[in-house]
Amino acid sequence: MIAAEIYIGGSIGAIILAPTIQIAVSIDPDHNDVGLTDFEGLVLIDFEILPHYNPSYGRELSYYQKTTSNKVISISNSQTIIINSKGRQL
């Protein structure tokens, strides 16, 4: 029997689950101040998460979505994504 695993990732902890963390340096307020060059994520999910979504990110998010082949799910500070064997829900 395999025990259920629980992972709680807030902010970059959610972003890192995706195939790439590029979204973290592409949309305000998190700029690449440390000069990262490898943006590979853990690839535990097949979509990207944009936490802390604010409508003011609309233009940047629209542009970013054109540059990635991954689905992007934006969540505000009052939302969560639950992923389990039945799929995902917001």
> What distances in angstroms separate CA 57 from CA 33, 36, 41, 60, one per listed residue?
19, 22, 22, 5
**Given 52, 56, 62, 78, which residue is catalytic?**
52
Say whether 52 is catalytic.
yes
Say whether 78 is catalytic.
no
Q: What is the 3-class SS of 18-74, one letter each residue?
A: CCECHHHHHCCCCCCCCCCCCCECCCCCCEEEECCCCHHHHHHHHHHHHHCCCEEEE
- Active-site residue set: 11, 52
